[in-house]
Amino acid sequence: MRELFELLAVFAGIYLFDCVHWARREAIGFRAWYGRRMRVVSGAETAGNERFGVIFAQPLPMFGRLFITQAFPLSLTREVASSFVSSATNPGVRAAQVERLVRFDEPHVVTLEARRVLVDDHVFVEAGSNRLARLTASLIAELKVLGPEGRAARIERWTRTMLDVGIVRERIEAFDGAARSVRHLCLAEWLFVFAVTPIVGVSFGLASSWLPLLAGLVVLQTAVTIAFARAHAGLYPDEKRARRSEVFLIALSPPSAMRAVDALSRDLLAEFHPLAAACAFVPRDEFEELCERNLRDLLHPLPMARVAADPAVRAAAAEWQARMLAALETFAQQEGVARALWREPPPRFADDCLAYCPRCTRQFTVQSGTCERCQGLELVSFSGT
């Protein structure tokens, strides 16, 4: 029996590793441990390294959901696309960026390499997911064949779509329907591996029961793979190449098959702004807090760490920042969030608090200075507001 339990321990280790999702520091995750009640998980606040944080999903396949979103990683104007954005997770630091420029009226070759968008075989931007990278590359290619007025209109439509809560809710509803059978089959395989297999192995001996156990695993593995392929085709009809890769992995790896629901949900909302996702399914207080963080960051961006080689890169970032600020302010106010939440000073904690950081709202007992957490952003005096 020792061999059986060693094998199950290896399965369990691989399975738990598949419950771990690496998300870029600027990503915002939405996780439910049970049911539909989602909570915000910021990539900047999780354990990890300089570029990525670790988000843990609910280990029981029948329960919980996980969606990972990210603000659009490019600055777009009617003339150029810049792989530098001034926004960053608040509180948090700005992630390292490539800071390249693509002019739409110049010939370029746009390709993909997993999460990376390449322009002329050089990295242009690294997105938070393969899906977002594909959407970004497709948008760049589309903008290149349009004229300036057409680009402006297309960028405006893209901005509206990424903040469309109605579409977010439709996608969540479609996911819940498509993933239902996958979720039940994942649970069945999980119970078969971690409950039925040890019981049968101990009761009848592994030598006499390994063949029926293997046959049962193959049947469940096949059922999960087929159900996943159907659900993926319904949710992502245009992503045939990604579907083939996921189906191949799930068909060969039982731990991956048991986590098939995560493969359906993780990038479901990749093209939407985190605020649109938050509005759809997190508690009101968390949504308002996320609105305040995002809008204060856009109003008071982190200082630039270095001077870009091309001033046009920063000019494009400034134009995109102004566009997103206007769009997010309009969105927040339409959703009933008071403008004062991000435009006015935060509530004063105590009489000896003399200044505050306009970005992260941390308060200080000095009249002037800088906020170390926000990379030297100038403080604002309460007496001057």
> What's the confidence (pLDDT) of residue 305?
63
User: Average model confidence (pLDDT) for the chain?
Assistant: 91
User: Cα angle at 8 between 6 and 9, to 5 degrees?
Assistant: 65
Range of lowest pLDDT (45-59, 111-125, 238-252, 339-353): 45-59
Which two three-digit tokens encode residue 340?
């004062």
Question: What span, in angstroms and rounded, lies between the C-alpha atoms of 102 and 99?
Answer: 10
> What's the confidence (pLDDT) of residue 304?
74
Q: Return all residues near 356 (Cβ < 8 A) that are at least 6 apart.
A: 345, 346, 362, 363, 364, 379, 380, 382
User: What is the three-state SS of the chain?
Assistant: CHHHHHHHHHHHHHHHHHCEEEEECCCEEEEECCCCCCEEEEHHHCCECCCEEEEECCCCCCCCEEEEECCCCCEECCCEEECCCCCCCCCCCCCCCCCCEEECCCCCCEEEECCEEEECCEEEEECCCHHHHHHHHHHHHHHHCCCHHHHHHHHHHHHHHHCCHHHHHHHHHHHHHHHHHHHHHHHHHHHHHHHHHHHHHHHHCHHHHHHHHHHHHHHHHHHHHHHHHHHHHHHCCCCHHHHHHHHHHHHHCHHHHHCHHHHHHCCCCCCCCHHHHHHHHCCHHHHHHHHHHHHHHHHCCCCCCCCCCCHHHHHHHHHHHHHHHHHHHHHHHHCCCCCHHHHCCCCCCCCCCCEECCCCCCEECCCCCEECCCCCEECEEHHHC
**Average pLDDT estimate for 359-364:** 94
> What's the confidence (pLDDT) of residue 1?
67
pLDDT score of 167 more than 90: yes
pLDDT score of 384 more than 70: no
> What's the confidence (pLDDT) of residue 227?
97
Domain borders along the chain are: 2-70+166-265, 72-164+284-344, 346-385
Looking at the chain, the whole-number percentage of residues with pLDDT higher than 70 is 98
**Average pLDDT estimate for 136-153:** 94
pLDDT score of 308 more than 60: no
pLDDT score of 371 more than 60: yes
**Average pLDDT estimate for 71-79:** 94
Confidence of residue 306 (pLDDT cuts 50, 70, 90): low
Question: What span, in angstroms and rounded, lies between the C-alpha atoms of 179 and 333?
Answer: 34
> What's the confidence (pLDDT) of residue 208?
85
Confidence of residue 2 (pLDDT cuts 50, 70, 90): confident
> What's the confidence (pLDDT) of residue 217?
94
Which two three-digit tokens encode residue 71?
């603000």
191-248 pLDDT per residue, tens: 999 999 999 988 888 888 889 999 999 999 999 999 999 999 999 999 999 999 999 9
Give the residue among 274, 219, 280 at the shortest CA–CA distance from 23.
274
Q: What are phi and psi of 129, to 5 degrees?
A: -155, 160
Cα atoms found within 13 Å of the Cα of residue 132, Cβ hemisphere only: 26
Task: Specify the higher pLDDT residue, 4 or 127.
Answer: 127
Cα separations (Å) of 372 from 26, 51, 97, 379? 19, 20, 21, 10
**Average pLDDT estimate for 9-31:** 90
Question: What span, in angstroms and rounded, lies between the C-alpha atoms of 260 and 250?
Answer: 7
> What's the confidence (pLDDT) of residue 143?
95
> What's the confidence (pLDDT) of residue 102?
92
- In angstroms, how far apart are the furthest CA atoms of the chain? 81
